[in-house]
């Protein structure tokens, strides 16, 4: 199963500061290949920052991170780190809260862009793959539309297809449904669930508790820049170990 012989993600004493303020403190965690992990926690807990460090969108301030056997650490030179991050990104897909589709490109162009530019595969092959992925997220008939003609839910499904186009070994989801109208959330969650069943390694930052419970194998609960608790989805939701987690779950219950 694991083609790297290592966990998909492993962090050692990972830390992150923004202008002196420490937002992540000594994070030690692993994500196994094929595992679906949800990162939960109140706003400002550092969960999105942590996720964004997995593919180098945030620089690390200290410690070490290893993704798919490629490691980045604070002692490397900037140049070395950038090189490693570049390699990590080639086999990592990311889905953003705000979709971030390219507005000047059609749906299909959005999906195949990196195939053509980064992987440099022939156009016809890229288009075949792109259409296959759009079909998978149920949007093949929209392939020649521009993103602004699509609903938020549809845009996010295109963004998922775009991330999958690079045939990643790891998918990162940064609050994929937080910017959506409530009635559009389910169609996106359905696509992510379907993906989880294919054995894709996924890390999901989310506020959708029901969804996390259903889709995740394991929960990492964060608060104030540290991992407070981790455990199987079942353990975390039925028998949270810490007071902080219990409080969080109660709050979420009230909100929903």
Partner 1 sequence: MDIIWSNLPFLLKGAYYTLLITIVSMFFGSIIAVVVAIARLKGNRSIRWLARAYVSIIRGTPTLVQIIIVYYGLADYGLNLQPLTAAYIALSISIGAYLSETLRGAIQAIPKGQYEAAYASGMTPIQTMKRIILPQAIRIAIPPAGNTFIGMLKETSLVSVITVTELLRSAQLLIAQYYVYMPFYLAIAVMYWILSTGFSFILERIERRLSIYE
**Residues of this chain that bind partner 1 (CB under 8 A):** 55-57, 86, 89-90, 92-94, 96, 98, 100-104, 113-114, 117-119, 146-148, 159, 162-163, 166
Coil, strand or helix: which one is 147? helix
Cα(197)–Cα(210) distance, integer angstroms:
17
- Structural tokens at position 134: 């759009």
Task: Answer yes or no: are the C-beta atoms of 68 and 169 closer than 8 Å.
Answer: yes
Q: Closest separation between CB of residue 218 and partner 1, Å?
A: 23
DSSP for 219-238, please give it. Answer: EEEEETTEEEEEEEHHHHHH
Q: Given the complex with partner 1, which of 14 and 163 has the nearer CB atom?
A: 163
Q: How far apart are CA 29 and CA 227, in angstroms?
A: 9
Whole-number minimum distance, CB 251 to partner 1, in Å?
Answer: 28
CA distance 185 to 32: 27
Nearer to partner 1 by C-beta: 25 or 105? 105
Least distance to partner 1 from the beta carbon of 214, Å?
26
- Under 8 Å between Cβ of 188 and 177: yes
- Report the nearest approach of partner 1 to the CB of residue 100 (Å): 4
Least distance from C-beta 67 to partner 1, angstroms? 13
CB 86 to partner 1: min, Å:
7
Minimum CB–partner distance for residue 114 and partner 1 (Å): 4
Positive or negative: CA dihedral 87, 88, 91, 95: negative
Cite the DSSP H helix spans in the chain: 47-54, 78-90, 107-117, 123-136, 152-165, 182-196, 209-215, 233-238, 243-255
Q: Is 68 helix (H, G, I), strand (E, B) or coil?
A: coil
H/E run at residue 9: strand 9-18
Q: What is the total residue count of the chain?
A: 256
């Amino acid at each position: 199963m694991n083609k790297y012989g290592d966990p998909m993600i492993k962090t050692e004493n990972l830390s992150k500061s923004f202008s002196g303020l420490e937002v992540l403190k000594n994070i030690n965690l692993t994500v196994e290949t094929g595992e679906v992990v949800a990162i939960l926690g109140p706003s400002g807990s550092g969960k999105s920052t942590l996720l964004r460090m997995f593919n180098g969108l945030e620089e690390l301030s200290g410690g070490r991170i290893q993704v798919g056997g490629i490691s980045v650490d604070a002692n490397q030179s900037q140049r070395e780190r950038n090189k490693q991050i570049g390699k990590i990104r080639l086999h990592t897909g990311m889905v953003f809260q705000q979709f971030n589709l390219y507005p000047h490109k059609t749906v299909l162009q959005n999906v195949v862009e990196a195939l053509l530019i980064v992987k440099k595969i022939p156009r016809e092959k890229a288009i075949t793959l792109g259409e296959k992925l759009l079909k998978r997220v149920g949007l093949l008939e929209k392939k020649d539309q521009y993103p602004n003609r699509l609903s938020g839910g549809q845009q996010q499904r295109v963004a998922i297809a775009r991330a999958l186009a690079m045939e990643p070994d790891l998918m990162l989801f940064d609050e994929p449904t937080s910017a959506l109208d409530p009635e559009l959330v389910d169609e996106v969650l359905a696509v992510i669930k379907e993906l989880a069943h294919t054995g894709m390694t996924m890390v999901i930052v989310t506020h959708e508790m029901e969804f996390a419970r259903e889709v995740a194998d394991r929960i990492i609960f964060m608060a104030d820049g540290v991992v407070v608790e981790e455990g199987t989805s079942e353990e975390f939701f039925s028998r949270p170990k810490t007071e902080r987690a219990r409080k969080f779950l109660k709050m979420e219950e009230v909100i929903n």
